[in-house]
């Protein structure tokens, strides 16, 4: 049961975006299209899980004085792998994510879980923590991107498959979108409402 708790806590109870409020820079920047959000989410899941595993394995041999630099080196190694794979196989997503992909190295979600959890717990729990937190981040990022793209552009952008171009155009909304939702102001406004909703839900359904 404890292992399941570690896996699921990042989905709602300790959601990194809506509850802990970590990783706001990539959340606000790449959530303009669903495809970008999914690409960033998959990258974060991979880096977070792998770095948690390695940091947990090495937690007893890494000197405390160089703990943070060591964590960054481990995380940067996995980020480099993600960059190379995305550049080779999904160049459109690689270009769309831009500088925010290499900046996963200093993403406070990943560094935060390394410091707060992986550096103090076993390999299995650290792996589950990484997977759960990564999925929670991906769900949140994709949800924000879906709302912003639908309202702000009247489209839903996914990955092209065969004859499917990857873009679904929504009649009506695409003709008169609310453009502010594609801007930083719209993202901040949406995050404020979503944060208020999740805070309300976390306080026993609004009962203080």
What pLDDT shows up at residue 204?
65
Q: What are the residue boundaries of the structural domains of the chain, listed by start? A: 2-145
Chain segment 88-101, per-residue pLDDT in tens: 998 988 998 888 89
What pLDDT shows up at residue 12?
85
What pLDDT shows up at residue 208?
45
Q: What is the DSSP string of 72-130?
A: HHHHHHHHHHHHHHHHHH-HHHHHHHGGGTGGGGG-HHHHHHIIIIITTS-HHHHHHHH
b/e 126-155 (16+ beta carbons within 10 angstroms → b): bbbbbbbbbbbbbbbbbbbbbbbbbbbbbb
Q: How far apart are CA 125 and CA 6, in angstroms?
A: 6
Chain segment 48-88, per-residue pLDDT in tens: 999 999 999 999 999 999 999 999 999 999 999 999 999 99
Sequence-distant (6+) residues with CB within 8 A of 21 are 195
pTM for this model (two decimals): 0.91
- Would you state the structure tokens that stand for residue 174, as one six-digit string? 């695409």
Q: How far apart are CA 144 and CA 137, in angstroms?
A: 11
* Residues lower than pLDDT 70 in the chain: 1, 204-208
């Amino acid at each position: 049961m404890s292992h399941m708790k570690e896996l699921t806590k990042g989905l709602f109870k300790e959601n990194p975006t809506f509850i802990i409020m970590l990783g706001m820079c990539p959340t606000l920047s790449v959530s303009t299209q669903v495809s970008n959000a999914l690409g960033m989410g998959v990258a974060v899941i991979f880096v977070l899980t792998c770095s948690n595993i390695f940091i947990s394995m090495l937690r007893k041999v890494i000197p405390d004085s160089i703990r943070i630099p060591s964590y960054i080196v481990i995380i940067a190694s996995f980020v480099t792998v993600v960059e190379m794979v995305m550049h080779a196989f999904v160049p459109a997503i690689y270009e769309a994510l831009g500088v925010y992909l290499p900046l996963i190295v200093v993403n406070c979600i990943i560094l935060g879980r390394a410091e707060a959890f992986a550096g103090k717990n076993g390999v299995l729990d650290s792996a589950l923590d990484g997977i759960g937190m990564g999925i929670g981040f991906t769900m949140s990022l994709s949800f924000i991107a879906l709302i912003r793209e639908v309202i702000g552009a009247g489209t839903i952008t996914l990955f092209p498959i065969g004859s499917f171009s990857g873009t679904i155009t929504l009649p009506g909304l695409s003709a008169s979108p609310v453009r502010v939702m594609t801007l930083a102001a719209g993202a901040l406004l949406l995050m404020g409402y979503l944060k208020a909703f999740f805070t309300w839900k976390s306080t026993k359904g609004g009962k203080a």
